[in-house]
Amino acid sequence: MENKELNFTGKAYNGFALLFINLIVVPLLIGLPFLLGEAYLIPCIINAAVWGIWFFIMIAGFFSQEPGETRVMVFFGKYKGTFSETGFFWVNPFMDKKKLSLRARNLDGEPIKVNDKVGNPIMIGLVLVWKLKDTYKAMFEIDSQTLAQKSADGMTNVVGRMKAFEDFVRVQSDAALRQVAGHYAYDETGSETEELTLRSGGEEINERLEQQLNERLDMAGIEVVEARINYLAYAPEIAAVMLRRQQAGAIISAREKIVEGAVSMVKMAIDKLEAEKVVDMDEKAKATMVSNLMVVLCSEESAQPVVNSGAAQ
């Protein structure tokens, strides 16, 4: 999309010099003619009225600007550029100076309910850092000024406009979050192919989310500095069932490790007994020993050994 933002090339004068003229010179021009006497009273009154009007018109041209702020200059509906210098200035008083903030802002979105790739309802939330990067788009590509007037309710114009941008970012971030969450499963689905999930995705999911947000917010001249998922959980109606599913998966994994270790230990025991000729065992004795050792090693409770003390006399 074509970049329509321009630097303001109009005249911007030092505010202190013009302030001196407005506070010292103009009052002198108003008051000195009255020293000429009553014969010039009517011309003096006209002169005072003209310079008095000029005095109040000049006041409207003063403004100060801090770092991280900018002003969109509009002259009777025509965009004249964006003024970004800092300091105290005076410009054409008929110029509409729309103030904007370029500082970074946070949005901590409330978790929303969405369906993941396999249809499970989940709760997901995000936090993002954003700022304005294109003042022309921010002011004229979206209806931020009307939204600001509706939401101002006594607030200053800049606060109303920035609140309108925050509302726009909040709506678009919800839409982007729903879109990203719908492309991934919450957790592993049990399929043989390893797929990226919301729980395991980490930086890749965050990068995908940031990309979606930048695509949606570019029309408003807004740049996403960073976006991260900060809340992820199953929806309350399926949370208990999914917790049992996770617990079952954990138990199965633990059992697999226990059995694998037990088989290794039994094999090592039999091989060592045979290698050192501690005892001669046939296949039946080996099977009995394997069975006993597997029971002892895989049991969840402590083994209770039975000592054979020999046959009764």
pLDDT of residue 312: 46
What's the total number of domains in the chain?
A: 3
CATH number of the domain that residue 136 is part of: 3.30.479.30
pLDDT of residue 154: 47
Q: List, in sequence order, every residue forming a beta bridge with 285; answer none if it has no partner.
A: none
In a domain, 129, yes or no: yes
**Are residues 82 and 182 both part of a single domain?**
no
**Are residues 207 and 254 both part of a single domain?**
no
Q: Which of 101-110, 136-145, 166-175, 192-201 bottoms out in mean pLDDT, i.e. has the lowest? A: 192-201
pLDDT of residue 155: 46
In a domain, 311, yes or no: no
Segment 181-207 shows an average pLDDT of: 79
**Are residues 129 and 214 both part of a single domain?**
yes
**Are residues 111 and 210 both part of a single domain?**
yes
In a domain, 5, yes or no: no
In a domain, 308, yes or no: no
Q: Domain containing 86: what range?
A: 13-100
Q: What is the CA radius of gyration of the chain?
A: 39
Dihedral of CA 265/267/271/277: which sign?
Answer: positive
**Are residues 109 and 228 both part of a single domain?**
yes
pLDDT of residue 8: 92
Segment 58-63 shows an average pLDDT of: 88
Mean pLDDT of the chain: 81
Give CA–CA dist 140/133, Å, rounded.
14
Of 189, 205, 234, the position where a domain reaches its end is 234
**Are residues 229 and 151 both part of a single domain?**
yes
In a domain, 3, yes or no: no
- In this structure, the strands spanning 121-132 and 112-115 are antiparallel
Burial class (CB in 10 A: 0-12, 13-18, 19+), 205: buried
**3-state secondary structure at position 267:** helix
Give CA–CA dist 60/96, Å, rounded.
10
pLDDT: is 199 or 94 the higher one? 94
**Are residues 226 and 273 both part of a single domain?**
no
Q: List, in sequence order, every residue forming a beta bridge with 127; answer none if it has no partner.
A: 108, 228
What is the pTM for the complete model shown? 0.70
Q: Which of 67-76, 82-91, 237-246, 297-306 bottoms out in mean pLDDT, i.e. has the lowest? A: 297-306
**Are residues 173 and 247 both part of a single domain?**
no
Dihedral of CA 70/73/74/78: which sign?
Answer: negative
In a domain, 165, yes or no: yes
C-alpha closest to that of 96 among 81, 113, 115, 76: 76
Of 50, 84, 100, the position where a domain reaches its end is 100
Of 203, 234, 265, the position where a domain reaches its end is 234
